[in-house]
Every structure is written in C-alpha cells, then in structure tokens.
Amino acid sequence: MPNSKQSPITMDAVYTAPGYLFRRMQQIAVSIFIEECRQFDLTPVQYAALIAIHTHPGIDATRLSAVIAFDRSTLGNVIERLQSKGLIERKPDSGDKRVKLLTLTKQGASLLREIMPLVDRAQARMLQPLKPSDRKMLLALLAQLVDLNNEASRVPLRAEDALEHLGKLG
C-alpha cells in the first residue's frame, strides 16, 4: 500500500499531544483551586510551600525548593510574598550566615488548618467528571509517570528522606 501518511497538519497535532493536554489540565487545575480558595487569596504554589514549611520547620529556601520541586529563583519571590502576608518568618541561621530559616507564623499555621478542607474539595473537583475507578487509574499512572520522569525536570524532586542522606551519600 502507498504511504498515505504525508502529514496534512491538522489541529490534532495539538489537541492529541500529551504536552498540550498536560498544559490544559494544569490550567484547569489552577482555575479550580483559585475558585475554591478565593476567600484566602492563596495560590497552589504558595499552598505547597506552606505545607512543606509546616512539615519541615526551619528549612532553608534551597532545600524547600528540592522538597516541592520548584525552581529556586521562583521560590524566592513566593517566599517574599508569603512573608509580606505574615504567613511565614525568616530568621538567620546561627551557624551559616548565608542561610535564612523558614517557619510558619501562628497566622500561617491557622490559615493552613482552615484552607486544607477547601484544597481537598478543589482536588476532588478536578477529577470529579471521571468515574471513580478511572480517577484512581489516572492518578496512579500520573504519579508513576511523574516519578519516572523526575530527572527530566529542571528541578527534580528530592523528598525529605533523600535530602537527609544527601550528605552521607556525597
């Protein structure tokens, strides 16, 4: 048979591309997050940072970046905004003069408790249109793919455990 695949260039080159679907879904996810949490004026990135600082009190910006896999340059601005909102504090490290340690303020901890149910609702809403079994399947495949592609990203995720061992492992 003749090769009928002479690439006619249709919009399918965009619509069916995984990268395009990931972008669209990310935008939808942010939109739903902001809508559910609008009474608190907190972004998804800021939320992740708050969770990480709560889980690792006294963490520094560089390790925070590794724990949530966000770019270090971007995180500088995020931290500044969280600080100006009074949600976190920055204190100089007693040993290393370069480092500034991050902790939640009472306001930050309080906001975190209040907003978590709303975030949970937002996360549920994103997958709502799918059947429960499909939600589970999609989430499992996605988590797997993100993990397997970890090193392909600009800022690979280095979870807490990995971080603690980094010194020993060199």
Residues found near DNA in the complex (CB under 7 A)? 23, 26-27, 30-31, 34, 43-46, 60-63, 70-74, 76-79, 81, 95-100, 153-155
Q: How far is the CB of 71 from DNA (least distance, A)?
A: 3
101 binds its own copies (CB under 8 A): no
* DSSP of 146-158: HHHTGGGSSS---
- Of the candidates 1, 2, 9, 132, which one interacts with its own copies according to CB under 8 A? 9
Nearest to DNA of 27, 149 (CB atom): 27
Burial of 88 (0-12, 13-18, 19+ CB in 10 A): buried
Q: Among 58-66, 93-101, 126-134, 162-170, which window interacts with its own copies (CB under 8 A)? A: 126-134
From its own copies, DNA, none, interface partner of 87 (C-beta below 5 to 8 A by class)? none
The radius of gyration of the chain from alpha carbons, rounded to an integer in Å, stands at 20
Burial 121-133 (b: 16+ CB within 10 A, else e): ebeeebeeeeeee
Helical packing angle, 18-36 and 106-127, nearest 10°: 130
Q: How far is Cα 11 from Cα 130, in angstroms, rounded to an integer? A: 25
59 binds its own copies (CB under 8 A): no
52 binds its own copies (CB under 8 A): yes
Using an 8 Å Cβ cutoff, are 58 and 95 in contact? no
- Sites of contact with its own copies (CB under 8 A): 7, 9-11, 13-33, 44, 48, 51-52, 54-55, 67-69, 112, 116, 119, 122-123, 125-127, 129-130, 134, 137-139, 141-146, 148-149, 152-155, 157, 159-160
